[in-house]
A and B are shown apart, each in its own frame.
Chain A
Amino acid sequence: MAGSPLTSSSKIRRVRWDVDAIRSDFPILSRKIYGKPLVYFDNAATTHKPQAVIDAITGFYSEYNSNIHRGVHFLSQQATQMYEDVRVQVKDFLGASRAEEIIFLRGTTEAINLVARSFVKPRLAEGDEIIVSGMEHHSGIVPYQMICQETGAKLLAIPVNDRGELDFNAYLALLGPRTKFVNIVHVSNALGTVNPVKAMTEAAHRVGAEVMIDGAQAAGHYPLDVRDLGCDFYAFSGHKVYGPTGIGALYGKYDLLDEMPPYQGGGEMILSVTFEDVVYNKVPNKFEAGTPNIAGVLGLGAALRYLTSLDREAALDHENELLRHATERVGEIDQLRIIGAARDKSSILGFVLDDIHPHDIGTILDQEGIAVRAGHHCAQPVMNRFQVPATVRASFALYNTKAEIDHLIDALFKVREVFS
């Protein structure tokens, strides 16, 4: 799992990554912004889509459109097959054992809410504890705050060290007989830190607690194997793995999903309904009420097909090299501080300039055609931990280049000029 950019060069395979060929797959990359080439460094917010994904979505509506699971006619059966084929794809992508362990929903945030409501809350008594990492996205905090408030349980946060890594020993000390559940981000969207989720899952299981891993920032970069990780739940979002928005997947161990009450009620998730009684459908349909985002699922399928057709090790090497290059070059800018310098880090670079506000930096970079994110990244506790109101975040993906990073550095010098 480690993809540290600081490992010696002998560990980085010298595989040629044809970034120009990759870029030609993504139509939006030919856009000009204020007459300048688009330099898109906001991939942690959302990734761009290859033509194959766009075609899968428009193709569904122009050729295959139908509602699924219920029809006896050809279009419905065909669409149902296509939809369920993606469920199998996601199962393979995550390394799960059964397709029934994959639930389609809107995204990672909805997945966490489903698990919090349907799995965790029924198990909570007053005084019980839920542990989350100190670097969670708000989606990994608020759903648990809500159920803690409703049950009298307590929410505890694992401390983060100055490098932006979780304090593992502090985590072990937090675990105890009252720990009922642990939720951790696999990769921090603000810091880029890759957490030791396998070891953390083992530790949680030793005290009898189940584990949810938020894989939103991991799924597009690292090959995953949920059985190896051992986690009870894992979620990711389609739009961060080069797929469409409005779709994501939740993996859950079959036995857990089977005994969980449903999250939303409605059609499709039932076997029979009368006004007196209801019999719920089996997993996974039990958790897929209503007509799903069928086009989104098919788009996700195309995205995963695209991603897995690439040499993923070469892709990771490329992204690690981008991170290494960017980290090295930003050292040329005076008074620039990198926020998040974990030893195991994904291709996310968060930084501040001591004398210039991230919002101002972001605006000036924008005028150069460079898209970064400036703000708290839905991770206000992380900002508080590092005592900054906000950071500028550049996040890299398959189609970014070293030349683009050099352009960012030029633009940062320009920011200095404007404010001198």
Chain B
Amino acid sequence: MSDLRDLYQEVILDHSKRPRNFRSMDDASHQASGYNPLCGDKVDIFLRCENGIVKDVSFQGSGCAISTASASMLTEYLRGMTIDEANATFASFHGMITGESNGLDPESLGKLAVFSGVGEFPARVKCATLAWHTLQSAMNSDAGEMVTTE
């Protein structure tokens, strides 16, 4: 039986109420938009990359606590990473949430491990992964095509 505390942990609630890096970015080198048609979650991810390093990450949008917290924590976590490291983090995060982690230790994701409980709430997985799918799209310069969770 899944405990709500597994989903709505202090850290997640904090990030949903006070999202970090919640702003648009005029000098973004990459950006993308994401949308969850089932519940109306919307997110825009902005990146400024220089020499293959993520210098700045921010987001805008509106959505549920899980999607907001996920986007907020993403922006903190990715700052200073290389693009390769960011891609690897996406794969790990996605694996952790969908349960396809092949023995990956959630602890290796540091703070992002708080989302490990989302897997117990299948209807909310797309909320947690929306920002990350949108990030992927931004990094791969699919800008112009709206990312959707469907």
Contacts and interface: CB of A to CB of B under 8 A. Distances in A.
A368 B104 CA distance: 32
A359 B1 contact: no
Q: For the side of the interface on A, what is the size category? A: 10 to 19
A376 B35 CA distance: 14
Contacts of A356: 65
Contact of B127 (A359, A383, A389): A359
Contact of A389 (B4, B63, B121): B63
Contact of A390 (B8, B39, B65): B39
A357 interface: yes
Contacts of B13: 418-419
Contacts of B86: none
B1 A360 contact: no
Interface string B115-128: 00000010110010
Interface of B: 1-2, 4, 7-8, 13, 17, 38-42, 62-66, 121, 123-124, 127
Overall SS of chain B's interface: mixed
Nearest to B17: A419
Contacts of B2: 34, 367
A364 B121 CA distance: 11
5 contacts: A358-B64, A363-B124, A375-B38, A389-B39, A418-B13
A35 B2 CA distance: 11
A363 B7 contact: yes
Given A35-B1, A418-B4, A419-B13, A360 B38 contact: no
A359, A363, A389: residue with the most chain B Cβ atoms closer than 10 Å: A359
B116 to A, nearest CB: 16
Interface of A: 34-35, 356-360, 363-364, 367, 374-376, 383, 389-390, 418-419
Contacts of B65: 356-357, 360, 419
B146 to A, nearest CB: 15
Contacts, number: 53
Contacts of B124: 359, 363
Given A375-B39, A390-B40, A418-B13, A360 B4 contact: no
Nearest to B121: A363
Contacts of B8: 360, 364, 418-419
Contacts of A389: 39-42, 62-63
Nearest to A355: B17
Contacts of B121: 363
A50 B62 CA distance: 41
A357 B7 contact: no
Contact of A359 (B4, B17, B42, B64): B64
Most central of B13, B65, B124 by chain A CB within 10 Å: B65
A35 B8 CA distance: 20
Contacts of A360: 8, 64-66
Nearest to A420: B13
Contacts of A363: 4, 7, 121, 123-124
A136 to B, nearest CB: 18
B44 to A, nearest CB: 15
A364 B39 contact: no
B7 A374 contact: no
Contacts of B40: 375-376, 383, 389-390
Given A35-B1, A419-B17, 12 more contacts: A357-B64, A359-B39, A359-B66, A359-B124, A360-B65, A363-B7, A364-B8, A375-B38, A383-B40, A418-B8, A418-B13, A419-B65
Nearest to A388: B40
Contacts of A383: 40
Contacts of A390: 39-40
Given A357-B63, A359-B127, A360-B65, A374 B4 contact: no
A81 B2 CA distance: 50
User: A360, A383, A390: which has the most chain B beta carbons within 10 Å?
Assistant: A360
Given A358-B39, A389-B40, A367 B64 contact: no
Nearest to B127: A359
